């Protein structure tokens, strides 16, 4: 019986362009810096994650997305990165933007057309910060 759910996961992963490693992405570059990642988390011109997520020591915070307290204990860096790069690979109807995808997007501000919201370095910094939340 376990084979059917795994096969379904593999099909969904393949359709999302991530065959072989569902829900994981390899690093986009050198290891990030948690302190810079914290700034990306809060910055209006960065991820501005704090609008929707709670993280320890961050205020104000939203409650649209899940709390990220302890996320570094629950998810690997690859799993965190996967969600930041393009959450719609896991949750197609997610409100969270795909922060490092540039194609097949809708409702994109002209200033972001053809470029990711976050650079590879910013994604890695955010991964380092969120991974530190244990």
- Spatial contact of 81 and 127, defined as CB atoms under 8 Å apart: yes
pLDDT, tens digit (0-9, with 9 covering 90-100), for 1-34: 333 333 333 333 333 334 444 688 899 999 999 9
pLDDT, tens digit (0-9, with 9 covering 90-100), for 46-101: 888 999 999 999 887 888 999 999 999 999 999 999 999 999 999 999 989 889 98
Mean pLDDT on 99-126: 87
Looking at residue 49, its pLDDT comes to 94
Cα→Cα distances 49→5, 14, 42, 82, Å: 32, 28, 6, 15
Task: Give the span between the Cα atoms of 96 and 98, in whole angstroms.
Answer: 7
Q: How many residues does the structure list for the chain?
A: 134
Looking at residue 22, its pLDDT comes to 62
Which residues, other chains included, contact 117 with Cβ-Cβ below 8 Å and sequence gap of 6+? 47, 97, 98, 99, 100
Task: Give the span between the Cα atoms of 46 and 97, in whole angstroms.
Answer: 12
pTM of the model: 0.78
Task: Give the span between the Cα atoms of 24 and 18, in whole angstroms.
Answer: 8
Q: What is the CA radius of gyration of the chain?
A: 15
């Amino acid at each position: 019986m376990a084979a059917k759910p795994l096969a379904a996961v593999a099909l969904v992963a393949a359709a999302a362009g991530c065959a072989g490693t569902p829900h994981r992405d390899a690093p986009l570059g050198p290891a990030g810096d948690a302190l810079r990642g914290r700034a990306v988390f809060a910055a209006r011109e960065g991820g501005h994650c704090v609008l929707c997520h709670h993280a320890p020591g961050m205020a104000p915070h939203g409650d649209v997305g899940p709390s990220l307290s302890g996320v570094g204990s629950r998810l690997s860096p690859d799993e965190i990165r996967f969600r930041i790069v393009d959450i719609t690979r896991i949750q197609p109807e997610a409100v969270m933007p795909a922060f490092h995808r540039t194609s097949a997007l809708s409702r994109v501000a002209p200033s972001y057309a053809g470029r990711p919201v976050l650079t590879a370095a910013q994604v890695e910094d955010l991964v380092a910060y969120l991974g530190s939340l244990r």
